[in-house]
């Protein structure tokens, strides 16, 4: 059987591993690539026995060689939580810049269609609410978070340049807050942090007064949106996320209710340039892709909590990854 071949960078990460699962299920030959700086082989170890899956331990900021035909590329390699990109800012910039450049060069050489993973962070701390794809954003390029935001903005820019100048078939997705199994409990983002604290019997930490909002999309819904965008004919950015907005204080209360614990909420100072609000306008996704989220937050949260609860308790107390001698 002549399977279509797809390269997925960041394959051992949260989103990348779910994408590997989806494309295996769709009958593709999946080539996973990851340097395991924030990814974890445990996320994809169940795929190693399959003949239609192969894995390259490789850093995409270096030249990428994949022998044979390639039909599609999904570029999902990047640190994706503030705790990571504050510790490894230069790698974050390089994977968004050099990594994207290498993936686009590979797509051009192979005649492959490429989808790059951008983010709602390109909107920065938005002054427009909800955020449409036409909004150019409010980003601080020299703030500590700017390394991620600007890497992704450059990614979008070079992707459109390859589309217009070289005729490469490109797709750009702007991903809003996503959650589900295989997130790292210690990655510093609100949802895994709350669940981790609840499992350990700690009080839940909310930064600021908890009035800042987020919109959480369950991972299966996001993967469906990615799949539909890749298969579409639309080459400008598309927001994929769940517009059901909630304050972080309300969200912490939901987690406490779900876990049936007695913890209280403690408040700490807000980090620099933390966005005050996040809510996608998904009109384009609805109109162009026929996509909208199906999994309610209550349902997705329960699946995610059960996943973490069934991990060995030592996983609940793991400290955030330390990165050494990385230049």
Q: Which residues are catalytic?
A: 148
Alpha-carbon dihedral sign for residues 280, 71, 35, 141: negative
Q: What is the C-alpha separation between 131 and 120, in angstroms, rounded?
A: 8
Nearest to 85 by CA among 76, 95, 75: 95
Q: What is the C-alpha separation between 233 and 249, in angstroms, rounded?
A: 40
Burial code (b: 16+ CB inside 10 Å, e: under 16) for 178-206 equals: bbbbbbbbbbbbbbbbbbbbbbeeeebeb
- Number of H helices and E strands in the chain, helices first, is 10, 13
At 214, which helix (H) or strand (E)? strand 213-215
- Classified as helix, coil or strand, 123 is helix
């Amino acid at each position: 059987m002549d399977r279509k071949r797809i390269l997925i960078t960041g394959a051992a990460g949260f989103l990348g591993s779910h994408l590997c699962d989806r494309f295996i299920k769709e009958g593709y030959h999946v080539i996973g690539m990851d340097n395991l700086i924030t990814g974890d082989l445990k996320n994809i170890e169940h795929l190693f026995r399959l003949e239609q899956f192969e894995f390259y331990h490789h850093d995409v900021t270096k030249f990428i060689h994949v022998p044979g035909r390639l039909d599609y590329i999904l570029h999902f390699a990047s640190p994706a939580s503030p705790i990571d990109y504050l510790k490894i800012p230069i790698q974050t910039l390089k994977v968004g810049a050099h990594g994207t450049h290498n993936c686009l060069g590979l797509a051009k050489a192979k005649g492959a269609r490429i989808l790059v993973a951008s983010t709602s962070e390109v909107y920065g701390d938005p002054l427009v609410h909800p955020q449409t794809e036409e909004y150019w954003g409010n980003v601080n390029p020299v703030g500590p978070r700017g390394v991620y935001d600007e890497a992704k903005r450059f990614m979008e820019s070079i992707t459109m340049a390859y589309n217009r100048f070289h005729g490469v078939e490109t797709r750009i997705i702007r991903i809003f807050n996503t959650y589900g199994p295989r997130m790292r409990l210690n990655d510093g983002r609100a949802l895994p942090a709350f669940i981790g604290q609840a499992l350990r019997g700690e009080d839940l930490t909310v930064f600021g007064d908890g009035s800042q909002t987020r919109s959480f999309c369950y991972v299966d819904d996001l993967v469906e949106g990615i799949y539909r965008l890749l298969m579409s004919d639309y080459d400008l950015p598309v927001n994929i996320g769940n517009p059901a907005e909630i304050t972080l204080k309300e969200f912490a209360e939901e987690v406490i209710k779900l876990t049936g614990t007695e913890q209280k909420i403690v408040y700490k100072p807000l980090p620099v340039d933390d966005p005050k609000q996040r809510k996608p306008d998904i009109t384009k996704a609805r109109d162009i892709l026929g996509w909208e989220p199906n999994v309610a937050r209550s349902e997705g949260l329960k699946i995610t909590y059960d996943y973490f609860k069934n991990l060995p308790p030592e996983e609940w107390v793991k400290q955030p990854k330390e990165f050494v001698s990385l230049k």
